[in-house]
Amino acid sequence: MEMVMRKAKINEVKEIQKLINFYAEQGLMLFRSLQELYGNLRDYFVCEEKGEILGTCALHIVWEDLAEIKSLAVKEKSRGRGIGGGLVNAALKEAKSLNIKNVFVLTYKPEFFAKFGFKEIDKKELPQKIWGECINCAKFPDCEEVAMLKQINPD
């Protein structure tokens, strides 16, 4: 059996939360509650192998022309196998199919996202995001995450 990138299922929410919150405890991403994950389940992709969830990420639509890739997390034991890249590609493919013009990320790993064509931007270009989730973060406003943007379906 091989790794499969696919949309998440309802019975996987607790495992997704465990994976995301493992990295949130290290200050590398935001915690996600079960309520938030169930409510946004359609945003999430997983990488699954032999029934085990090895990674996850979400494509969250923010506005008519903007979406965010967030909560990208891969189990430590499975890092270096292309899982993160596969999940990013799945999210970008969906963004393209939805005719979303721009996808952004807030990341501590800009070199990773640069491989996919993301370019650094000023966080001030993302007002909906900054005042939506970021204001509730303990690191706000002194966060060191880098904002990056990729055009998917330019005019």
pLDDT tens digits, 67-115: 999 999 999 999 999 999 999 999 999 999 999 999 999 998 999 999 9
| Residues 127, 153, 115, 21, Cα dihedral to 10° | 50
Are 54 and 76 spatial neighbours (Cβ–Cβ below 8 Å)?
no
- Domain harbouring 85, CATH code: 3.40.630.30
Confidence of residue 130 (pLDDT cuts 50, 70, 90): low
Domain coverage including residue 131: 4-151
What pLDDT does residue 132 have? 60
Number of domains in the chain: 1
Q: What is the value of pTM for the model shown? A: 0.90
Which three-class secondary structure state does DSSP give residue 58?
A: strand
Task: Please provide the average confidence, as pLDDT, over all residues in the chain.
Answer: 90
